[in-house]
């Protein structure tokens, strides 16, 4: 199965002895989605690196307040565009304000913690940001309507975000030279964009649906501009996996319990797209034994019609969504659970 890391300009790292995967696949057996509870970036990183030793990520800590949420954090990456926080939410404005500066400070502290905690990390390492459609759906223009309705605003946002993400990847790589950086684009709003389900700013109506071809084309331009493997994450119902794959996603991240289109999943596997399957809830729940979770994934894989020996190299286990709403103890347990469950997917 092809790997996005196995390019001529990128040396694939050898698999770790306990990885259980063929050399050069580039993906770890278990990872996280992004957000965690708490407010200490160094502590969060130590937890992630300890619990997910083969595929860690830079944690997001929305509990810190405005600017650490998904939209604010992504706004901190924008180049030559400014946002500010209003009572109605984030809005594009002519000049940066205190809220954007706070978001940028949060991101800077996270990068400092990354250098302190994970400088010696080697292997795949994931960073996350809102995707172009979710960002445009969540930001208002100065006139008060959502940026998603304006093709020019969407284009400017996507170009700015791509430039900022590329700089962010470079900053992470400089602090952790052994990391092979993966970018995760969070696109929970795409199903609503496609179905005409986004409310207007007033809340009294719905925005018109956007053609799938337009969504795919603009997402593809974003993925192509980032320059590293991109995972598209969506844990909303009716996620358009075929569209994400056609846009060039190297990986698809989803809640296993919400996936209904098995043909789309099978087509992604056939195309060499990696799957990041969410197998435990993002909020406190009683978890089964890791082996039971692995058995559930194996049964799903058999239903797809693929041999079990392909499963460990094709699928990374994750929580179903971010863990910001969980208690710290459960967040740690959930990450440890997917790590242990992934061990039972190996052929031995």
DSSP 143-208: TSSBGGG-HHHHHHHHHHHHHHHHHHHHHHHHH-TTEEEEEEEE-TTHHHHHHT-PBPTTSSSBPP
Which regions in the chain score pLDDT beneath 70? 1-25, 348
Please tell me the pTM assigned to this model.
Answer: 0.91
Strands of the sheet containing 315-319, edge to edge, are 56-57, 123-130, 179-186, 230-233, 251-255, 274-280, 315-319
90 DSSP 8-state letter: E
pLDDT at 348: 67
Fold of 41-274: TIM Barrel (3.20.20)
**Which residue, 261, 123, 248, is CA-closest to 185?**
248
Q: Residues 157, 141: contact at Cβ < 8 Å?
A: no
Beta-ladder partners of 316: 276
Q: Looking at the chain, which runs of residues are DSSP E strands? A: 56-57, 82-86, 89-93, 123-130, 179-186, 230-233, 251-255, 274-280, 315-319
**Nearest residue to 77 (alpha-carbon basis) of 192, 146, 164, 139:** 164
Token pair 């172009």 is found at 132
The pLDDT score that the predictor gives to residue 317 is 98
Return the SS3 of 83: strand
The residue with tokens 């979770």 is 293
Residues 156, 158, 127, 14: what is their CA dihedral angle, to the nearest 10 degrees?
Answer: -130
Task: Give residue 176's Cα distance to chain centre.
Answer: 19
Q: How many residues does the chain have?
A: 348
Q: Alpha carbon 26 to chain centroid distance?
A: 16
């Amino acid at each position: 199965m092809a790997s996005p890391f196995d390019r001529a300009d990128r040396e694939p790292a050898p698999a770790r002895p306990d990885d259980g995967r063929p050399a050069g696949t580039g993906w770890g057996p278990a990872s996280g989605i992004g957000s965690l509870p708490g407010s200490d970036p160094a502590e969060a990183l130590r937890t992630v690196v300890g619990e997910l030793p083969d595929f860690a990520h830079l944690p997001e800590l929305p509990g810190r307040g405005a600017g650490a949420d998904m939209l604010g954090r992504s706004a901190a990456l924008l180049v030559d565009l400014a946002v500010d926080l209003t009572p109605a939410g984030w809005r594009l404005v002519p000049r940066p304000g205190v809220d954007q500066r706070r978001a940028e400070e949060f991101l800077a502290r996270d990068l400092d913690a990354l250098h302190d905690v994970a400088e010696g990390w080697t292997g795949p390492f994931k960073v996350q940001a809102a995707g172009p459609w979710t960002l445009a759906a969540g930001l208002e223009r100065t006139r008060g309507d959502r940026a998603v309705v304006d093709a020019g605003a969407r284009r400017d946002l996507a170009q700015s975000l791509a430039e900022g993400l590329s700089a962010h990847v470079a900053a992470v790589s400089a602090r952790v030279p052994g990391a092979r950086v993966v970018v995760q684009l969070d696109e929970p709003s795409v199903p609503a964009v496609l179905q005409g389900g986004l409310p207007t700013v007033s809340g009294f109506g719905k925005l018109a649906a956007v053609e799938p071809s337009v969504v795919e084309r603009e997402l593809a331009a974003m993925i192509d501009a980032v320059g590293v493997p991109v995972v598209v994450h969506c844990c909303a119902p009716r996620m358009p996996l075929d569209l994400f794959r056609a846009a060039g996603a190297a990986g698809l991240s989803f809640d296993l319990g919400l996936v209904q289109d098995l043909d789309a999943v099978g087509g992604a596997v056939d195309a060499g797209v990696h799957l990041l399957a969410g197998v435990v809830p993002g909020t406190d729940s009683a978890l089964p034994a890791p082996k039971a979770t692995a058995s559930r994934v194996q049964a799903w894989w058999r239903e797809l019609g693929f041999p079990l020996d392909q499963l460990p190299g094709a699928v990374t286990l994750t929580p179903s969504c971010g863990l910001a709403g969980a208690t710290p103890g459960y967040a740690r347990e959930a990450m440890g659970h997917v790590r242990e469950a992934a061990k039972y997917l190996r052929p031995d």
